[in-house]
Chains A and B, each alone.
Chain A
Amino acid sequence: MTTSTTETAADRSARPAGDNRRKILEATMKRFQYQGDALIEVLHKAQELYGFLSPELLSDIAQRLHLPPSRVYGVATFYHFFSLAPQGEHTCTICLGTACYVRGAALLLRELEELSGVKAGRTSADGRFSLLTARCLGACGLAPAAVLDGEVVGHADRSNLAARIRSLLGREE
């Protein structure tokens, strides 16, 4: 999972009133002629625009595509990519693919959990930081790989990641 398309809390607060995200989403649905088949494409777009899929957003999509609400919810929760809760201002994704695993990714993840106080897959209580995992980013040549705020970090280890996370969070050593 890359995090580049995921909106952060800061983006949301910076957005002026009367945004046109709804219009863009509507245009996407129209392009697919409001067909139920396009549900996953529409969810991708909605998440890209809003950062996460709120119940209101899902209900809205269900109505526009003439799909039962439970089907939309079922699809949204089946795929790892879709998030039903907002993500932190900063995100760090650790690749847990085989190549990264063999090169110590699991240990790295534990260290980052300790450092940030955030469990894998969770967001800190203040909404500042999410620690995520991915099933192989396909960057095995750089194992262990991580994605920090949308940027791929190769040969990631505690020393090069921890310092960057600390500075992102404005914490001192």
Chain B
Amino acid sequence: MDLHELEAIAERELAQRPRLRILYCSATGCQASGALEIKRRLESLLAETGRQVEVDVGAVGCLGLCGRGPIVRIEPSGETFEHVKPDDAAEIIAALDGHSCDVARCDQNHPFFTRQMLIVRRHCGLINPDRIEDYIAVGGYRSLYHVIHEMTPAEVINAITRSGLRGRGGAGYPTGLKWATVAKSPGERKFVICNADEGDPGAFMDRSILESDPHLVLEGMAIAAYAVGAEQGFIYVRGEYPLAIERLQKAIAQARRHGLLGAQIFESGFNFRVDIRVGAGAFVCGEETALIASIEGRRGQPRPRPPYPAESGLWGMPTLINNVETFANVTAIIEKGPEWYSSIGTEKSKGTKIFALTGKIRNTGLIEVPMGITLREIVEEMGGGTPDGSPVKAVQTGGPSGGCIPASLFDTPVDYESLAAVGSIMGSGGMVVMDAHTNMVDVARFYMEFCKDESCGKCIPCRVGTVQLFNMLTKLRNGQAKPSDLSKIEELCELMRETSLCGLGQSAPNPVLSTLHYFRHEYEQLIGAEGNHGS
């Protein structure tokens, strides 16, 4: 494979593509609401009229508005339909021919779409994730070629550093610095790991990227491998994501066949092989040392850092671990340059971030927004507020490691530092909206139950502390708590935050602490209120 062959594939692909296209979202959400049946109906209707060659019915990745699936889009008009039913197939074909049609349309001028800025999700809804040709046709694998033939590893790292990209898994560690550390650490072998163990309940950004544009992640990993000097990569995917796994397997096989992964990529001396490891249901494996233990076939228990995986990771070798969204940003930075990338966002948080907007919100789905946008813009303008129009009470970011931000702080800009300053975290991108019906003690208890079930059991503060906190919150909920119990809860939260071994235990108190801070009256109301179940 060389650049000419790559261009030839792209040209061929574009030349043979029919003008009329019906594209349906094939991600998990829309599939579950019947997208495949719609596809079958469309195809059989087209076949009946002999138009199966003239009109292309194609799968595309997630279009974002998951709460209104199944979503279907037609080209060239670009009209997008929501809540499509199999019986709508004839109407949609009519719309393709310019006739009127009664199927509900998505309002493309809604802030939900217009306020987005697509970098990572730029191909989502445009390409068929099962076809490498589609990815090549939109410019795929050019960045990898460019990097291998025209840049030194140091130049690649320099570009990533200057872009200001920070880890999208939640903690926001500078990506360039991580790459540089791995590149400089001595080791006979090095590894690149893509963390696709998206465990935060209420978050599905990474699933969507993998299901919609798997090659984007593979290309990002290959560029990283070239930069740090690794020849082997692993993608650690949640077992709960069968469709993402299937698409990754296909993508890896296609890339190998085309000489874009494997030995002597683009006829250079660079080799890079990628294997998938399927997680087996353990939230703690999102923690990098636990993830490494899991790839090594062991119990997913974290170990103290240092040493960091960048120096001593998988099988003791220097290992680069980034999450899906981080790798998915790489090609855009190479393509358009670090200066372009760093012009987006705030002073310390560059680029865009994808959020999964869920809960009591009118427009449920995925949005990609520039860093620095306010919570109000996301929740009220893009999300459209609550379904019944009642006021939003709070938004939870960062999952079990994050906190609840009250509506009074909705002018907070979304960036790593600002969210930390109000007691939450950026996290991987889950954003769960809560209204007046949501009891905040319940929310804190829900997350503590999660952490208790997901605690690996290795260190004492997390293993026993989560259970004690959960029991105390349950007592509180049942109106059996004493006034002194609140300070006991706070004291235990501090212990866990300061002494737990890994991030899971250290951040497990965050949902409790943030709700105690902003909604203390809801806790106090429950004290000594036996029989009052607070709802």
Using CB atoms and an 8 Å cutoff, list the residues of chain A in contact with chain B. Answer: 1-2, 4, 35-41, 43-44, 71, 74-75, 78-82, 96-103, 134-143, 145, 151-154
Contacts and interface: CB of A to CB of B under 8 A. Distances in A.
Interface in B259-303: 277-283, 294-300
B192 to A, nearest CB: 17
B281 A139 contact: no
B200 interface: yes
Contact of B359 (A41, A78, A102): A102
B446 A101 contact: yes
A101 B178 CA distance: 36
Contacts of B430: 98
Interface in B188-231: 198-204, 207
A2 B240 contact: yes
- Size category, B interface: 35 or more
Contacts of A37: 295-297
A139 B280 contact: no
A135 B359 contact: no
Contacts, number: 146
Contact of A139 (B204, B296, B360, B432): B204
Contacts of A35: 297
Nearest to B242: A2
A74 B280 CA distance: 13
A41 B358 contact: no
Contacts of B239: 1, 44, 81
B504 interface: no
A44 B278 contact: yes
A98 B454 contact: no
Nearest to B280: A79
A102 B432 contact: yes
A114 B297 CA distance: 39
A135 B242 contact: no
Interface stretch (B28-36, B115-123, B326-334): B28-36
Given A40-B294, A139-B204, A99 B29 contact: no
A173 B298 CA distance: 47
Contact of B281 (A1, A140, A151): A1
Given A99-B432, A136-B200, A138-B204, A1 B300 contact: no
Given A134-B240, A152-B28, A141 B201 contact: no
Contacts of B300: 78-79
B66 interface: yes
Nearest to A138: B204
B432 A40 contact: no
- The residue among A79, A135, A145, A154 with the most chain B CB atoms within 10 A of its own CB is A135
Contact of A41 (B278, B281, B298, B364): B278
